[in-house]
Chains A and B, each alone.
Chain A
Amino acid sequence: MQFIGNQFTQSTALCGNDLATFPDFPAEIRAPAGTTFGVSAFQINFGASVIKTSGDDCDMVVAMNPAALKVELPELKLGGLILVDAGTFTERNLHKAHFDTNPLEDGSLSPYRLIELDISAMTLEAVKEFGLGKKEALRCKNMWTLGLVYWMYDRDRQVTIDWLNEKFANLPDLAAANIAALNAGHAFGETAEIPDGVHGFSIGKANIAPGEYRTVTGAEALSWGLVAGAKLAGLKMTFCSYPITPASSLLHTLSNLMDYDVVTFQAEDEIAAVCTAIGASYAGSLGITSSSGPGIALKAEAMGLAISAELPLIVVNSQRAGPSTGMPTKTEQSDLHQAVFGRNADSPLVVVASRSPSDCFYVAIETIRLAVKYMTPAILLTDGYIGNAAELWLIPDFDSFESFPVEFRIDPEGYQPFLRDEKTLARPWATPGTPGLEHRIGGLEKDFDTGHISYDSANHQRMTEIRAAKINGIADDIPLQTVEEGDGKGELAVVGWGSTYGPINRAVSALRDEGKKVSHIHIRHIWPLPKNLGDLLEGFDQVLVPELNKGQLSTLLRSQYLTDAQTLSKVSGQPFKISEIEAAIRDRLEK
């Protein structure tokens, strides 16, 4: 299902539509087919207008078995279109999906438009000349269905034909069978009589700015951003990670970029991963580690070491639903407090959050810039939704990015490991191998001047203060908070961070079209916060913070600015719908 979703995405992009996708799949690798918990779904929102979310309620649901229908029907608009493979609506499958009666027969689908086709049978017919076994032949039914959907939305099949030929280069029969199924589905649409009111749709090209485009997932954009950021810093990257859902795709992508001088290391555990990254940074490389919430928890002590030793370190957290193992493939934004506060002692660091798949590229570069300039660990927050989702991306010209080359300390004259730059308060980065700068550092408290071990009480006060001051000072080096949508003053500020960007933005736009005095503020720099944010929030009567958690950013805003930020919480493992945010805004404005 994910494969054909990606194919539809590609062909839709080539049609000139704007789009956003939302892959939603189970944690199990081969979850039992036909069960509701085994449903693997792929949602795409596309159109001739600018797309900022993967969509609210669907106009069409394609259900390949009863379980898929059961799970996805609540997402369908009344009057929406359902395409089902009627061949799978057997007693056994209905039972597995917990249907007491067959929904194709009991009238429960009457509020919708239903196309029921025995796709299984038609697929078997279409591929019979290739002599595949029944099981293999039935696997082609996704392609048959894709062919029909391509016809309905007038997509070009060629991109998929090319992909199949490439994927099955060594199995030409399988390639040919899948292409035959695709063509058969398409031909069915052209020739068969489909129920009333169902026809081919024509969707115009979106008004998209000129330039070179691609589709990109968050995991790809983040990987490339890390490579780009290391290059701008003039550093070799050492990426150390332990497999965890949904963060592993970063490790996979970067492991294939050795030709970009990327060293990747699959560690024995989360702690080893962060410690190896710290060792790499200590030795003059850019140490990066990546995980998801439970793994980040294991890294906390080592992040404290990097804070104490004042070494650059990038920690990527692809957030997922928790606590504990939670729901590995479902998205959440519930690690904000973990990122900002989640270590022993006063241990400040930098936290930056990406808002969309393509935004990961820019956020990765920004995170690296701050980490190396201020000799500090920096956490990049993304989430499972951003990582897997795809969107169109106007590919930037890398030559237009400003570099920030690291200058390692090489002059032994007056060197002390913790003597700080007066402006940034960063200590010098002196790496092993440099003659005359031999020094010893670690997690014990250090003397302010000499860097030697110190248990002096006044010194610890001073060191704690300066570690905090260094991170707080970064507020002078990050962009001021802007308003994404709307005015700098008004009745209600909707403040978001991370992947809620799309639905908040659409909701605010829609209500502004109605004349509501509502604005959208989206925070990228979570810690330190932009220095004008407090003043900005004061310009609004109310502050509403939609978050996929129980109110973590709003707690932060309340503590920092004594503002009465209100939470709109959602923790269902699914992104916000535009309508949910719209409703919450209306509710607040009516009060």
Chain B
Amino acid sequence: MNVVTPLNKLTPADFATDQEVRWCPGCGDYAILKAMQRTLADIGATKENTVFVSGIGCAARFPYYMATYGFHTIHGRAPAVGTGIKLANPDLDVWVITGDGDALSIGGNHLLHVLRRNVNLQVLLFNNETYGLTKGQYSPTSRAGTRSPSTPMGSIENPVSAVALALGAGARFVARSVDTMQKHLPVIFKRAHDHNGTSFVEIFQNCIVYNDEVFAEFTAKDVADDAEIILEHGQPLIFGKQKNQGLRVKPGFIELETVIIGEDGVTEEDILVHDETNRALAGMLALLEPPSMPVAIGVLYCDPRPSYDDGVKDHMDEALKHSSGHDINALLRRGHTWTITD
């Protein structure tokens, strides 16, 4: 394939379509859309080689607002459609846009398997802990006790952790961000894009109509510094307004604890250093929950291995070495044949 250097790099506006955006005013999806348009401009993506694939739900309208190729498919199945696109044309850059109901309920099986197979595409899960498009029922990420049209006495189910599930499924890239983190989102999107294999990104997204401020306890401006920990590979796991809180392994336990530097003899040397390639650490970070622990934001885990696409290509290359030039007549004559004469 010829590599063509674009004369004029595209701007974020070039990735916007002329379609009227149909999300509710104030929806977190607007911010994610903006961050994505900026990311594609930053990484020098081309419109023609970029494909957004979605299932059903509010998030699933995303492709209509990107001036790239887009396929709005059926509920929960976008990872499967995305896999097909990559099988047919591995050179395309595929972004699967999904939500908590789409990816973790009706499409749970496909999420598990796309992650396990490690197909080279990005999965962005907009988690708003509710079914927005169907008017606010509790979702698989809703916390126990959530009151909704279908759970008037409160949900009696335990929620699933998207990132813990992704790690359990064998994902090699697992990250988290927040719709309002406009500087952080493009960084994570770029990391996800650059990763070979399936990149899984959970984005805490506010549903202003059915679940407003459901993440406010850790994302609100006044508490975020103390309630979130922003992960940086190779950097100590320090957080807090004063930058004096940190995570370490609780002595005598296999779990993390929050400590304050300068108290009880704790120094910065005692604080764990984030290692994206450490799966056990990623597993512990994934399960940190407020209010006792900070919510881990950033790249929890990144440890690439060959993608499914690489494997398919290797097998095809190997098989094509023995190809008879796709001669159908030879195919039809494989095995025993005989000729009958007059």
Q: Does any Cβ of B come within 8 Å of A432's Cβ?
A: yes
The answer for the CA separation of A440 and B341 in the assembled complex, in Å, is 58
Given the interface pairs A259-B324, A268-B110, A275-B74, the reply to whether A287 lies near B340 with Cβ below 8 Å is: no
C-beta contact mask, A462-499 vs B, less than 8 Å → 1, else 0?
00000000000000000000000000000000000000
Digitize A283-297: 1 where CB-to-B-CB distance is under 8 Å, 0 elsewhere: 111010000000000
- Tell me which residues across on chain B come within 8 A of A283, comparing CB atoms: 51, 84-86, 88-89, 92
**Bound Cα distance A130, B39 (Å):** 72
The answer to whether A211 has its CB under 8 Å from any CB of chain B is: yes
The answer for the CA separation of A435 and B2 in the assembled complex, in Å, is 14
What residues on A are CB-neighbors of B112 within 8 Å? 268
Identify the closest chain A residue to B78 (Cβ): A275
- Given A212-B338, A268-B113, answer yes or no on A438-B47 (Cβ-Cβ < 8 Å): yes
Q: Nearest Cβ in chain B — how far from A55, in angstroms? A: 22
How long is the Cα–Cα vector from A180 to B321 in the complex, in angstroms? 40
Whole-angstrom distance between the Cβ of B321 and the nearest chain A Cβ: 8
A residues less than 8 Å from B48 (CB atoms) = 432-438
What 1/0 mask marks residues of chain A from 258 to 291 whose CB sits below 8 Å from any chain B CB?
A: 1111010101110111011111111111010000
One of A38-46, A393-401, A418-426 at the interface = A393-401
**Chain B residues near A209 (CB-CB < 8 A):** 340
Q: Which of A277, A301, A443 contacts B84 (CB 8 A)?
A: A277
Task: Give the chain B neighbours of A113 by CB distance below 8 A.
Answer: none
Return chain B residues, CB-CB under 8 Å to A272.
Answer: 77, 80, 83, 109-110, 113
CB contact list, B67-93 vs A, under 8 A: 67-74, 77, 80-89, 91-92
Q: Which of B135-143, B258-266, B328-336 contacts A (4 or more CB under 8 A)?
A: B328-336
Complex contacts, A444 vs chain B, CB 8 Å: 72
- B88 x A284 contact (CB < 8 A): yes
Given contacts A212-B338, A442-B73, contact A224 B332 (CB under 8 A): yes
Known: A210-B341, A214-B333, A435-B48. A259 touches B322 (CB 8 A): yes
A214 to chain B, nearest CB (A): 4
The number of A-B residue pairs with CB atoms under 8 Å apart is 208
A483 → B minimal CB distance (Å): 28
The interface residues of chain A lying within 8 Å CB-to-CB of B89 are 283-285, 431-433
Say yes or no: is A441 at the interface (Cβ < 8 Å to chain B). yes
From the candidates A211, A284, A304, name the one contacting B339 in the complex (CB within 8 A): A211
Tell me the complex Cα distance, A212–B81, Å. 42
The 8 closest A-B pairs by CB, nearest first: A279-B84, A442-B72, A258-B319, A285-B88, A275-B80, A440-B70, A283-B88, A276-B84
Chain A residue, CB-CB nearest to B328: A398
Most chain-B Cβ atoms within 10 A of its Cβ — which of A273, A282, A433, A440? A440
A281 vs B84: C-alpha distance in the bound complex, in angstroms? 8
| Contacts known (A265-B83, A302-B77, A453-B64); A279 close to B336, Cβ less than 8 A | no
Q: A215 at interface (Cβ–Cβ under 8 A)?
A: yes
The answer to whether A285 touches B87, judged by C-beta atoms less than 8 angstroms apart, is yes
Known interface pairs A258-B320, A278-B84, A435-B48; 18 further A-B residue pairs with C-beta atoms within 8 A, sorted by A's residue number: A209-B340, A210-B339, A213-B338, A214-B338, A215-B336, A260-B331, A261-B323, A263-B87, A267-B113, A271-B110, A272-B113, A287-B84, A395-B332, A432-B50, A432-B89, A438-B47, A440-B64, A443-B73
Task: Determine which of B74, B91, B323 lies in contact with A305 in the assembled complex, contact meaning CB atoms within 8 Å.
Answer: B74
A534 contacts chain B at the CB level, 8 A cutoff: no
Q: Which residues of B contact A265 (CB under 8 A)?
A: 83-84, 87
- Say yes or no: is A14 at the interface (Cβ < 8 Å to chain B): yes
Structural contact, A271 and B77, CB atoms closer than 8 A = yes
- Would B19 and A279 count as touching, CB distance under 8 A? no
A269, B114: Cα distance in complex, Å = 12
Residues in chain B near residue A263, CB distance under 8 A:
87-88, 312, 316
- Contact between A440 and B63 (Cβ–Cβ < 8 Å)? yes
CA distance A283 to B82 in the complex (A): 10
Residues of A in contact (CB 8 Å), total: 71
Contacts of A305 in B (CB 8 A): 73-74
A-side contacts of B51, CB under 8 Å? 283, 432
On whether the beta carbons of B71 and A442 are closer than 8 Å, the reply is yes
A550 in the interface (beta carbon within 8 A): no
Nearest B residue (CB) for A258: B319
Instruction: For the complex, give the distance between the alpha carbons of A440 and B72 in Å.
Output: 7
Interface residue from B19, B328, B340 paired with A224 (Cβ < 8 Å): B328
Q: Check if A194 is an interface residue, CB within 8 A of chain B.
A: no
| B342 and A210 form a contact (CB under 8 A) | yes
Residues on B with beta carbons closer than 8 Å to the beta carbon of A395:
332-333, 337
List 11 A-B pairs, Cβ < 8 Å: A259-B319, A260-B323, A272-B83, A272-B109, A275-B80, A279-B81, A279-B82, A280-B85, A280-B88, A285-B84, A285-B87
Q: Which residues of A contact B (CB under 8 A)?
A: 10, 13-14, 16, 159, 208-215, 224, 227-228, 231, 236, 238, 240, 257-261, 263, 265, 267-269, 271-273, 275-285, 287, 301-302, 304-305, 309, 395-399, 431-444, 452-453
B53 within 8 A of A: yes
Report the Cα distance A227→B327, complex, angstroms: 10
The residues of A that contact B109 with a CB separation of less than 8 Å are 268-269, 272
List residues of chain B with CB within 8 A of the CB of A436.
48
Minimum CB–CB distance for B122 against chain A, Å = 15
Q: Is there contact, CB below 8 Å, between B87 and A259?
A: no
Please name the residue on chain A nearest to B90 by beta carbon.
Answer: A283
Tell me the interface secondary structure of chain B in the complex.
mixed
**B81 pairs with A258, CB closer than 8 A:** no
Which residues on the A side are within 8 Å of B329 (C-beta)?
A: 397-399
CB distance from B141 to the nearest CB of A (A): 22
A441 lies within 8 A of B336 (CB): no
- A287 CB, min distance to chain B CBs, angstroms: 6
| Closest chain A CB from B88 CB (angstroms) | 4
Q: Which residues of A contact B87 (CB under 8 A)?
A: 238, 263, 265, 276, 279-280, 285
- List which B146-162 residues lie within 8 A (CB) of chain A: none
Q: For residue B36, give the distance in angstroms from its CB to the closest CB of chain A.
A: 14
A192 CB to nearest B CB, Å: 31
**A452 touching B19 in the complex, CB below 8 Å, given contacts A224-B328, A285-B87:** yes
Closest B residue, CB atoms, query A265: B87
B82 to chain A, nearest CB (A): 6
Cβ–Cβ contact A439 & B53, under 8 A: no
CB atoms of B80 and A261 under 8 A apart: no
The yes or no answer to B315 lying at the interface (CB within 8 A) is yes
Contact for B326 among A260, A277, A287, CB less than 8 A? A260
- Verify B331–A279 contact, CB threshold 8 A: no
Is the Cβ of B332 less than 8 Å from the Cβ of A396?
A: yes
A227 pairs with B328, CB closer than 8 A: yes
Say yes or no: is B267 at the interface (Cβ < 8 Å to chain A): no
- A549–B116 CA distance with the chains assembled, in angstroms: 41
* Residue from A213, A228, A276 within 8 A of B340 (CB atoms): A213
Most chain A Cβ neighbours within 10 Å, of B70, B77, B339: B77
Bound complex: CA of A281 vs CA of B281, how far in Å? 41
Indicate if B17 sits at the interface (CB-CB under 8 A).
Answer: yes
From known contacts A432-B92, A433-B89, A437-B48, infer whether A211 and B70 are also in contact, taking CB-CB under 8 Å: no
Return the chain B residue nearest A256 by Cβ.
B319
List residues of chain B with CB within 8 A of the CB of A309.
Answer: 71
Contacts of A227 in B (CB 8 A): 328, 331
Which B residues are CB-close (under 8 A) to A14? 336, 338
> Does B49 sit within 8 A of A, measured CB to CB?
yes
B64 touches A278 (CB 8 A): no
B43 to chain A minimum Cβ distance, whole angstroms, is: 17
Tell me whether A432 and B49 are in contact (CB under 8 A): yes
**Contact A398:B332 (CB < 8 A) given known A275-B77, A279-B53, A444-B72:** yes
Which residues from A are CB-within-8-Å of B63?
A: 440, 442
Query: Within the assembled complex, what's the spacing in Å between the Cα atoms of A157 and B47?
Result: 65
Say whether A439 contacts B331, CB under 8 Å.
Answer: no
Alpha-carbon gap, A240 to B113, bound state (A) = 14
Q: Are A259 and B320 neighbours in the complex by a CB distance under 8 Å?
A: yes
A377 CB, min distance to chain B CBs, angstroms: 14
Distance between Cα atoms of A452 and B329 in the complex (Å): 45
Contacts of A16 in B (CB 8 A): 340
